[in-house]
Each structure stands twice: as structure tokens, then as C-alpha cells.
A and B are shown apart, each in its own frame.
Chain A
Amino acid sequence: MVAVPANGSMKKHTISVLVENRPGVLARVSGLFARRGFNIDSLAVSATERSDVSRMTVVTLGDERDLDQVIRQLNKLIDVITIFDHTRDDLVEREIALIKVRATVENRSEIMQLTQIFRADIVSISPRDETMIIDVTGDADKIDAFLETMAKFQVLEMVRTGKIALVRGSKMT
């Protein structure tokens, strides 16, 4: 990305980007990542407590210097109001995955048990075509673990959101 020696190791960094709630802002932000070769691991755009502000939660992969450039370049966008680097924050992080699995008479109870262990929810059952949709919510590790567990069944489809996050306590970001 930049012609400086890498400074530290490649890591995933979570940043919150508060932006003007205006048409085209997502294009400006995602376009910046694309043209400068920054990695987006996940991106979630959402409403906030303020109607004129949107929050983008971005997980980006890079070393400290990459992260520094991401933040500095994002700051140059006029529609970006503030950016928070969560590298040192104590975060509550959530992602949601919906997983459609083949649930036969034989394995259905095992799937239900595993779902309970992960505190996931079965949100749809279609006995006729032997499918189930499971809703699992949690941090990335939990969802990864659940997906791994489900791998031995026949996963027909999976969809997963980007990460959203807030800092614990009274610190506002």
C-alpha cells in the first residue's frame, strides 16, 4: 500500500466512522478503500441515535502504519465527521449470521442441541424439505466457532453481517 517499511504485524482493526447521512457517502468511503488498496474485512452501515449521522463500522486488515493512513485519508473526506480507532477500546462487538442447514430426521436433534449450546436460535423449520435456518449472534469468534460446528452438516446457504461495535462504559464514540 505505501512504500514505507511495515511497522508491526498485520492485524484486524475495528474503526467507527461517523458520517453525514447523505446520498453517496458510502460510495465515497468504499471508493477510498478501493483506490488506495486498503483492505475491508467487513463493513456495516447503520442509523444512529442522530438522524443526520450514520455510523460505519469498518474492520480493516493491516499494520499500524496502514491503519494510520486509513484514518488520515478517511479524515480528508468532507462527509466524514469523526473516526474512532478501537484498537485499545473495550468493545461490545456483534455480528449476526443466518445459516440454512439440511436437517433430516436423524440429525435434527443434534443440530438443535448444538444451537442451544451456542445460544443461537432456530428461526425457521421446513420439515417438508428438511431445512432449518439458525440465527447466531455474537462476536466474530463465536460465529466462526458455530460455523465450524455446523460444517459437518450440510450447510445450504449462509449470510453474515459485518461487525457492529460500541465501547463499554460512558466513553462515547
Chain B
Amino acid sequence: MKGAEALVEALKLEGVEVIFGISGGAALPIYDALARETSIRHLLVRHEQAAAHMAEGYSRASGRVGVCLATSGPGATNLVTGIADAAMDSIPLVAITGQVPTAVIGSDAFQEADIVGITMPIVKHSFQVRNPDDIPRIVKEAFHIARTGRGGPVLVDVPRDMAQAQLKGFKFPEKVEIRGYNPACVCDDGEIARAAALIAQARQPVIYAGGGIIASDSSEQLVRLAEKIDAPVAMTLMGRGVIPDRHPLSMNMLGMHGTAYANWAVRDCDLLIAVGVRFDDRVTGNLARFARNAKVIHVEIDPAEIRKNRYAEVAIHADAKEALTKLGAAVQKAEHTDWRRQIAQWKEEQPLAYDRDGALKPQYIMEQLADMTEGAPILATDVGQHQMWAAQFYPFQRPRQWLTSGGLGTMGYGFPAALGAKVAFPEQDVWLVTGDGSFQMNLQELATSVIYGLPVKIALFNNSSLGMVKQWQDLFYEKRYSGIDLKDVPNFKLLAEAYGCVGITVTTPEQVRPALERARDVKDRTVLIDFQHDPDEHVYPMIASGLSVDEMQLQPLGGRKKA
């Protein structure tokens, strides 16, 4: 058995069903071995960055480890953005790269890049195969590291000669033993008891819920705890879906573009129960003034995040599922009627709102999408204004239906992530909410969607500009527009049709619903709706960078009507 065959065999034993990738010289032996393995499906994409994002979308939607594959040099460097994205959002990902033969590593050989060195700051761990007999163990360890503890990307770099060399024997280890890596953490009962005591004293508790709850599949436990202690839940961008938005305890999102009521609740709470979050600057703004009256309970799997940004009175180093289960059992049932009434009043006074002045508003499109789908489909987004409107207006029903690039903020993430989710769940509807800027960063994957029969529904929010940057230039740079004008190019309807997809152009509010319904009803092809909306709309509420809830800007409503 050759190294490449051992690699593929080990992937099979890991239960890998699908790989997203692009071949090339150094990866030829791996592709040759893949051609002879029928149980693993390989999707040939059009750009390696998309392969990485597809693997991320597949992983986030399914809870499994995503796998992408590229050749050496440019193939490998094209994966870098996806690997960094997975690192920031704790997505289990295994990236396999071809490499030039060991004999010429370091000689600037054709298509050589030191991908292990390049990715060192953004991987959870990396391997370079130096002995073909190590391949099964390396694969086993790579998947173990990617999926356990705080998930993340692992790189496996395979020099071409290692892929071609004969193994002495194929031995796939049953167990992983890495002495420097012990992700198992025991949830401390003393800390649970201290947390329960703080919760018992709290009069105005808030749960600050993040992506860690989704990663540990513990939404149920979170909702049960929230209900038992009657604590409203503010979600991070990555945590959208941990509690359904129709649930009375949902306060939607907090932070820079969070709802006013979620941010006010965090401002006034006396206990902040932070679960699977890292006190990111987009959530906290000015740290010194974030939840300034609150004691903090921090449940977190990564010990390096505990007390990194914010002191926690009680720190529970644990997997969210175990901690929430134990905490749910340890707390007393409570009711916070006045507190809940206060939040309901804030919500009444300051809901998510926008001007209905007759123009085609992006928020209206999101509302219509929400109304039509009731939040059932998987929803992927790119990065920018449309992403925030999607996070605000989509009525999330469940975890793992929401795919977005949070930490890295990667434009170009959304479309491939949507395709990755469609691969994981071919029977489910997958919508992509994207912008004209973001979509053009990976639109070449329209080909992938057509060729592999992966129909997704694309709502393209077209303002002919980099809208979020424009918003900042409007607000903070006296409208001195610089580097934001994307003009009215291309014609997205024709672009979609050129790839064999359905293209629809929408320019008025009346056209929105019929277009959405048509996209919903087309089952066999990808549909792209080009929504040419009011380009001057801003995302509100907004807490500008580094400021606090006291400086929150609300939607300035002209002829003000509530949404």
C-alpha cells in the first residue's frame, strides 16, 4: 500500500464521505488513490478558497468534520482564508495539501509554498508527513484534534514522495494518545454550586449565548436552563439559533448591531451568564463599560478564553452541554416578572425598525423571506450589511441552520458555505443571503452548484457598493466615499443564466414576494434573485467600534412607523 492509498483508507475509516478540492501536480498521487475509492465523494470546485468554505459549511450544518484538499503552492495558499475563518469560528476542519517531494522542500521548487509555516498562526495543529507509515496515525490525530475541545482547523501536508512511497504496514490506531493534548475537562461541581448560588441571588439575569452552544449541541439544555431561571437570552452572531426567536425569552442578537432591548438588558443586568462565548469586541464594545453592573458566570471550553477579556466571578471550564445540564439541575426555579416586563417594554418601544418610504428596502426583503419561509431553511450569508439584516430579521428555529463568517468576517464565505450545507442536507432548502460585493468573491461556484446538482436559493442584496464600508464612510468619514463603488456590473440575471441557473431581477417592493416564491418553487436549479435595493440604507441599531451601549445609534425614522 502506498502513502496516498493509506491516506484515503484512513479518511474512509474516519467516516469521511465527501471531500471538496482541486487537484494539481503534487496532489496527483492522492487524486489517483481517490479515483479508486468509491465510498468517498470528491467535489471538484472552482477555487480552493471555496473548497475550504464548503467544508466549513458542511461541518457547521452537519456537526461533522469538513475536509478540503488542494495541491501544493497556490492550491495550498488559496486555502488559507478558509483555514483562518475556521480557526476564528472554531469550525472542525481538516485541510489536506499536496507538497513538493521532501528532497526538494526548501529549494523553492515549482509550486512550493511552506504551507505549514504559512498557516502556523491559524491552525489548531498541523502535520507534515515525513514517513509514510505515520499517515494513518496522523489522519486519526488530525480528526481527533479538529473535533474535540474547542474545534478548529488541522492541516495535513503530504509531500509527493510520501504519497508514492510504500508503507511497511497499514496500522490505523484505535485510540489517540497525544500527551500534549487533553481536551477532556471535568466540570467542577464546586463551580456549578457557586454559579447556582449567584443565579439564586440574581434579580435581573441575562444569558449571553454563543457559538459554543451550537458546537456542543446543547441548545436544548440552554433553553431548559433559561426557562427554569426565567432569564432572557441574548445571542451572539455565531449563537443565532440556540433559542428559537419565537420563544418569549429570545432577545435576538446583542452587540454592535444587536437589538436595542438585548443591549439594554445586558447594560442593566446584575448577572451575565456567558456560555460558549469569548467577549469579542463586536459584542462588548468598550469592555470597561460592558455589563458594568453584572457579575459574570463564564462557561467556556477553552481555558485561554476564561478571564481573557472580562473577569468572571465564576468560571466553569467545561463543555457547554455538561455544564448546562449540571447547572440546570443545580438551580432553583425562579421568576423575574418585573425584569421580563421591563424588557418587553423596551422591545415594544424599540423593535427592529426601518423606514417604509416606498423604496425597495433590504429589511423588507428579509421580512418577506422570513414570512415566506418561517425560518425553516438553512440560511448562509456573506459578510456586510446583508449579513446583519439576516441575523436580525430571520426567525431562527434551531441551531446549525445558520452559516455565517463571524470572527474573520470573510466576504466570499457564504455561497460555498451554502453549497457545503446542501451537500450535507440535499433534501433541505438552503438560502443564501449575500451582497453584490461578497458574491463576486466566489461566484465561480455557480458552476459547482450546476454540475453537482446542488440547487440553492440566492437572495443577492445589490446596492452596487461595499455597503457596510459605505455606512462607516457615511457615519464617520463625512461621506468621503473611497473604494466602495462597485457600479452596476455585472448583470446578475444574465450571469446566473450563463451558468445555467435561473436569474431574476427585482427593483420594486411589489416584485419581492413573487420572486421569492418562484425561487422557493424551483427545485432543480440554483436561483439567483438580484434585489436592487435602496443603496443608502444603514444597519441599525449600531454601537460604533470601541463605544458602549450608551452611544447606541438607533434607526433614524423619517415618517416613523414601526416594523
Contacts and interface: CB of A to CB of B under 8 A. Distances in A.
Contact of B304 (A69, A79, A81): A69
B117 A27 contact: yes
B109 to A, nearest CB: 18
A35 interface: yes
B304 A73 contact: yes
Contacts of B180: 19-20, 77-81
Given A3-B287, A31-B120, A75 B311 contact: no
Given A75-B304, A79-B180, 7 more contacts: A3-B281, A5-B288, A19-B180, A20-B180, A28-B120, A72-B306, A78-B124
Contact of B145 (A5, A72, A78): A78
A27 B307 CA distance: 27
Contacts of A72: 303-304, 306, 308
A5, A27, A35, A75 interface centre (most CB from chain B within 10 Å): A75
Contacts of A80: 180
Contacts of B310: 4
Interface residues of A, number: 24
Given A80-B180, A81-B179, A27 B120 contact: yes
Interface in A1-28: 2-5, 19-20, 24, 27-28
A76 B304 contact: yes
A16 B145 CA distance: 24
A64 to B, nearest CB: 11
B296 to A, nearest CB: 12
5 contacts: A3-B287, A28-B120, A72-B303, A72-B304, A78-B178
A66 to B, nearest CB: 11
Contacts of B179: 81
Contacts of B124: 76, 78
Contact of B308 (A5, A24, A31, A69): A69
B125 interface: yes
B121 interface: yes
Interface of B: 116-117, 120-121, 124-125, 128, 145, 178-181, 281, 287-288, 302-304, 306-311
B121 A4 contact: no
Given A31-B120, A80-B180, A81-B180, A4 B309 contact: yes
A2 B304 contact: no
Nearest to B154: A78
B120 A75 contact: no
A75 B121 contact: no
A75 B303 contact: yes
Nearest to B288: A5
Nearest to A73: B304
Nearest to B286: A3
A2 B181 contact: no
A31 B116 contact: no
Contacts of A79: 125, 180
A19 B181 CA distance: 12
Nearest to B284: A3
A70 to B, nearest CB: 10
A49 B387 CA distance: 55
A4 B145 contact: no
A30 to B, nearest CB: 10
Contacts of B309: 2-4
A172 B189 CA distance: 30
Given A4-B307, A73-B304, A24 B121 contact: no
A26 to B, nearest CB: 11
Contacts of A69: 304, 308
Interface in A24-43: 24, 27-28, 31-32, 35
Nearest to A79: B180
Nearest to A34: B121
Nearest to B304: A72
A77 B128 CA distance: 16
Q: Pick the 10 closest A-B CB pairs, nearest first.
A: A72-B304, A78-B125, A81-B180, A78-B181, A3-B287, A35-B121, A73-B304, A80-B180, A78-B180, A72-B303
Contacts of A78: 124-125, 145, 178, 180-181
Nearest to B130: A23
Nearest to B302: A76
A37 B310 CA distance: 19
B116 A4 contact: no
Contacts of A68: 307
Contacts of B311: 4
Contacts of B287: 3-4
Interface in A56-89: 65, 68-69, 72-73, 75-81
A35 B120 CA distance: 11
Nearest to B281: A3
A19 B302 CA distance: 20
Contacts of A5: 288
Contacts of B302: 76
A24 B123 CA distance: 14
Interface in A81-119: 81
A32 to B, nearest CB: 8
Nearest to A35: B121
Contacts of A24: 116, 120, 128
A82 to B, nearest CB: 8
A80 B125 CA distance: 11
A37 to B, nearest CB: 13
